[in-house]
Structures are given as structure tokens and as C-alpha cells.
Amino acid sequence: MIVLYGFGGVGRTFAEVVYSRTNLKISAVFDSKGGAMKCGGFEKDEVKTLLKAPRGGVSELGVGARASLEEALRCAEVLVDASPPNYSNGEPAASAYRLALKSGLSVVTANKAPLALYFPEFEGKPVFYKATVMAGTPVVDLALGLREQRPLRIRGILNGTTNYILTRIDVDGLSFEEALGEAKAKGYVEPDPAIDLEGLDAAAKLAILANTLGARLTLGQVHREPLRYLGPRTKYVAEADLEAGNARVVPARLEPDDPLLLARYTTNAVEIATEVNLVRVFGKGAGRLETSLALLNDVVKALRACK
Amino acid sequence: MIVLYGFGGVGRTFAEVVYSRTNLKISAVFDSKGGAMKCGGFEKDEVKTLLKAPRGGVSELGVGARASLEEALRCAEVLVDASPPNYSNGEPAASAYRLALKSGLSVVTANKAPLALYFPEFEGKPVFYKATVMAGTPVVDLALGLREQRPLRIRGILNGTTNYILTRIDVDGLSFEEALGEAKAKGYVEPDPAIDLEGLDAAAKLAILANTLGARLTLGQVHREPLRYLGPRTKYVAEADLEAGNARVVPARLEPDDPLLLARYTTNAVEIATEVNLVRVFGKGAGRLETSLALLNDVVKALRACK
């Protein structure tokens, strides 16, 4: 049984994916206003009704019983967090994780804020988070597989929205304003644009990746400069020197033969340098279905793992 | 406690890594002629002596007691297979895995043959194999993270030796014979050259990756053509159409803008296309230390996993 925490775009797609592709069930759904639960798990038609709820409306539908998170956790094995990131203090998600872990549940999350702020607190606990970095591209799993190699550096294009804007300028000749307007029209830009355009999203992913490799880095330690177009081959680069302990998200012009230029439009890329290897990964970094399938992969993993 | 099965280049480096970087211990070592065991685990100086043994000589040193595999498995939690691949029937490694699994151990392997031949038999059991594909680059973990995305195609440069030869011809102007001679002199070519030059190694990796993504493909189903240089941008390409169910390892000339051309010398590359993503991974595909660190990462994972 799954408690679904967050019922916006990703949360709703995740619910659809669970009921169309698996035999798993969701036993509670929470949005910003409240929750609905059914201990034995919602049936398909109940989920259909829930999916018609307006934002903030799941507890008003009469599907299941109104519930507190504490009650809902009693019937489930996994808390899935698809709520929006709160980069000031990670709440209310961080408190939800603490409660879930204390109650013996695993946590599976697509929300970057709690881990970008408090990674060490959750390390070693059953918290699965591949959906937080590059969504459909499980670079977190690859990074966990590199843990025995001493990590040196990370360098990447970790935000799809800003990379889309820069590619539209650089490759297709749009102005910054045109490209930004188009990205907004396509729904690529977060409700708070600073999350994309001032590098918070990329910095959070960088912090999560660094910690996954065994280094220590928190969101606040990442130096950030806002997105600007500096001329041909401008990329919004997230990079961390894990030995020196400094990190930044800044616009920069790349050399013409830089492999990171392969990451165009919403494709993301990351380079991980270790004592013996230089690994490069390219792939999709966003998308509701991609993120939902990453969450599902972690739910399957969580249900199989040792408690 | 670890039973180390295979004591050539990789096996010896793995033993050094275990004793220099961890608190784990090896309780038995097997080579082609026999085994030596010490139930409580060898001490550092005993491992030093073992490392001085000539090939096939570990049971003659008087370090530990002579042992059968069956006896050795009684003291350990993990069997680590660093023995050479036998592509005709996977033996003796495949039988060793069966015995180890029946005895409640996990298996961690760098030997491609048993999985390339009998993947379905070992699926769902505690068998960890990231060291079999791209060694230092955990593309197996990334592929496991893609399991909820329906896989469509794999395409890659999966053999470092042949890619070294082709790059020396293509980029540095050597003749085929010069490049092959150099690769042999550097120790890159397997004792049986057909494993590299006739595509067995790449085909085995392709089969393992396909199965990891949830498709079914065995080594014998991969069409292979021997390495040849066909002109500029020749690569020895391993590719599988997982929907049609066909696969091949063939020399082919790539288009000038093909991202696989980024894989030069001993760097490997793989592209995985799924219903929603196209993931590309580049990284080192061989090396004793790289392979040993991949084995160690899986040993740590195996010791943490549920039985």
C-alpha cells in the first residue's frame, strides 16, 4: 500500500501509472488541503474520481475517509512524495519523511528539497530518490554504483527548462525574452521562476548527486548566478569540486568540442570524474511520465528491500 | 566473509583492494588448480603470501587449509567470481553459482559467461553483476533503474580492445596489423583473441544488458561478424532491437555526428532507447582496479541485501 503525498501533475500521473501498469494500490492521497484514505486501497474507479478533483480538493470528494497523515501511515509500506519543493526548510515534506520512517515505512521521493537540505539525516535509511535528479534517467543509481570509487568532480546540465531556453537562443536564433516566453507557455517554468532561472533546481540536484557519491554538500553551499546568455555555446553549468568542497551553478560558454554540448533542449547531462573513471550520462531530465516511472521503479525497490 | 573464485589479474587486484580499503575479509581463494581456506578469514600478511603464488599455485603455499568449494562456502556470505569466461557452457563458474546460491550465499561476478548464457536461471536471485558490463561504469545499475520504462533498443561500443584498435587506425593512422600488435603488446587482447576480435565479449555484454532491461536474449542469438576496418568512423557496434528480438555485433561506419564517436580508445559507450527516453552513457569499460571496485560495490550491496 502506498501513501501518495502530493497530487499535482506528477502525483496524478503516478496514480494513473500505478493503476494502469501494476497490481499495487494507493491507500491514501494528500494534497495541500488534506487527505483521503482507504486502508485496503482505492479501487480503480475511486482513483478515477480522485483524478477529477480540483487542486486541493481530494478530501472534499467523499472518496475514502478524511485522514491525517499519521492515520494514513498505519495502512501502508511506502510514502511517495510528489509534493512541490520548499527550498527554505523542506517542509512539510521533511516532517512527513521523519514520521513515515519512524512508523517503519520507506520513503520514495521526487521532491528535491528535503534531501538537498538534510541529506545526512536521511542517509542509510530506506529513502529512495532517483526521481529527484534527471527524472527519467537514473543517474542516482549509477552514482550509487560508483560509491567505491573516490569521487573528484561533478559537472552537468541539470535543469531542463534553462537548457531549453539557451538551446532555443543558441541553435534556433530566438531572443532571450522569446525563448523564456515560449518555455513559460509550454509549462516548463516552475510557478516560482527563480527555482529554474536562479539555479535553485540545478543546485539542489548537484547537492543530491554529490552526497550520493559520498561527498558532503548542502544547497546553501552552492554558489549561484542567474541565467544569462553569454554568446554561442552558453550552457547553465552546475559543477562541484568534491575535493576542494566548492560548487556553483553559473552560465558559461563551453569550448566547441565540449561533450556537454550534446545536451540540447530539455536533455540533461552529467559528468562524474572519479579516481579511475570519467563517466558521462545524457538523457531526459523531466516529464511527468518519466518522473512517475522513476518513482514506480523506486517503489518496487523499496517493497523488496530489507526493513 | 568472501570466497574469491578466480585468482588472475582481477582476482588479485580485488584481494588487494579488499585488504587495503575495507575491513572485509576473504576466507577462501580458488584458482584453476585448487583452493586455500581459513574460516575466520585470512590476515593481511597471509594475503600478501597468497598474492606471491604463481598462477594455479594458491593451494600449494601452506597458507590456510586446502579446501573444496563446498567446504569453503560454509564460512562465507558472498562468492566473488573473477574467473575467466567460458562461453561454451559457462563452467565451472555456473555450477559454482548454483552451489553458492543453494548454500544461502550471494554471488558477485565479473565473469560474463554464466549470465550471458543462462540469465533467466539466475534472475531474481542474489546475483550481482555490475562488473560484467563496462567494468568501472555501472551501466547495469542504471539499466535496473530503467526497468519500469519499456525498453526498445540498445546500441553501443561494448568492447574496449577492439575500440582501441579501431581508434588507433582511424584517429592515429596505424594499419590494422600495427594497431592489433600494439593492443596485444599492451595486454588488452584476451588469451583467446576471438573473444575480442569475433565479438563474443561484446555480444555477451549485450545479452546481459538486454536481460537487465527485462528483455530476453542469449549469447547464441547475437549475430556476430569479425572486426574489420571499413574506412573512416568504423566502430564495432553492438546493437539489439528488443521488440523485434534480433541483435548483432558488427563493424559499421557511423555518421559524422553520431554521439557514439565520442567513445575513443578504451572508452565504452551505450545508448538505451525506451518508450520515453534515450539514455547515453560513456565511461571506462575495463581495467583491473575499475573491475575490482565494481566487484567491491556489489559485495557491499550483497551484504546489505535481504536473504
| pLDDT at residue A306, as a whole number | 53
Mean pLDDT of the region A50-58:
94
Counting one residue from chain A and one from chain B, the pairs whose CB atoms sit within 8 A come to 117
Q: Looking at the predicted complex, does its ipTM rise above 0.90?
A: yes
Query: Could you tell me the strand order of the sheet in which A26-31 lies?
Result: A65-66, A34-37, A26-31, A2-5, A78-81, A106-109, A127-128
Report the relative pairing of strands B65-67 and B34-37 from DSSP bridges.
antiparallel
pLDDT higher than 90, residue A278 = yes
Specify whether A235 is catalytic.
Answer: no
In this prediction, residue B307 has a pLDDT band, given cuts at 50, 70 and 90, of: very low
| pLDDT at residue A138, as a whole number | 98
CA distance B163 to B166: 5
CA distance A106 to A77: 6
pLDDT higher than 70, residue A307 = no
Q: Which residues of B touch A290 (CB under 8 A)?
A: 149, 276-277
CA distance B251 to A266: 32
pLDDT higher than 90, residue B191 = no
Given an 8 Å threshold on Cβ–Cβ distance, is B141 in contact with A136? Answer: no
In this prediction, residue B237 has a pLDDT band, given cuts at 50, 70 and 90, of: very high
Mean pLDDT of the region B209-236:
97
CA distance B155 to A273: 24
Task: Give the tens place of pLDDT for each residue, B59-89.
Answer: 999 999 999 999 999 999 999 999 999 999 9
Alpha carbon of residue A236 to chain centroid:
18
| pLDDT at residue B57, as a whole number | 94
pLDDT higher than 70, residue B306 = no
Task: Give the tens place of pLDDT for each residue, B90-136.
Answer: 999 999 999 999 999 999 999 999 999 999 999 999 999 999 999 89
Q: Kindly state the cell numbers that stand for A110.
A: 521526487
For residue A60, give how far its alpha carbon lies from the nearest alpha carbon of chain B (Å).
33
Which residue among B142, B149, B287 places its CB closest to the CB of A142?
A: B142
CA distance A20 to A197: 35
From residue B63, alpha-carbon distances to B41, B51, B82 in Å are: 11, 11, 20
In this prediction, residue B305 has a pLDDT band, given cuts at 50, 70 and 90, of: confident
| pLDDT at residue B60, as a whole number | 92
Helix (H, G, I), strand (E, B) or coil at A137: coil
Q: Which residues of B touch A306 (CB under 8 A)?
A: 304-306
Mean pLDDT of the region B159-181:
97
Mean pLDDT of the region A35-54:
96
Given an 8 Å threshold on Cβ–Cβ distance, is A138 in contact with B142? Answer: yes
Q: How many CB atoms lie within 10 A of CB B275?
A: 12
Q: Which of B72, B140, B131, B170 is nearest to B281 (CA)?
A: B140
Given an 8 Å threshold on Cβ–Cβ distance, is A141 in contact with B144? Answer: yes
pLDDT higher than 70, residue A280 = yes
Q: Which residues of B touch A284 (CB under 8 A)?
A: 276-279
Task: Give the tens place of pLDDT for each residue, A210-237.
Answer: 999 999 999 999 999 999 999 999 999 9
pLDDT higher than 50, residue B39 = yes
Mean residue pLDDT across chain B: 96
In this prediction, residue A305 has a pLDDT band, given cuts at 50, 70 and 90, of: confident
Which residue among B276, B279, B296 places its CB closest to the CB of A281?
A: B279
Residues A233-236: contacts with CB under 8 Å, at least 24 apart = A233/A170, A233/A258, A233/A261, A234/A166, A234/A169, A234/A170, A235/A157, A235/A163, A235/A166, A235/A260, A235/A261, A235/A263, A236/A157, A236/A159, A236/A162, A236/A163, A236/A166, A236/A199, A236/A202
Mean residue pLDDT across chain A: 96
Query: Cα A202–B153–B231 angle (5° rounding)?
Result: 100
Nearest residue on chain B to A130, judged by CA atoms?
Answer: B145
Q: Which residues of B touch A145 (CB under 8 A)?
A: 130, 138, 140-142, 294, 297
Question: Which element (helix H / strand E) includes A184?
Answer: helix A176-185
| pLDDT at residue A154, as a whole number | 98
Which residue among A139, A147, A276 places its CB closest to the CB of B289?
A: A276
| Annotated catalytic residue, options B38, B130, B205, B235 | B205
Q: Which residues of B touch A265 (CB under 8 A)?
A: none
Domains, chain B: 2-133+288-306 (3.40.50.720), 140-284 (3.30.360.10)
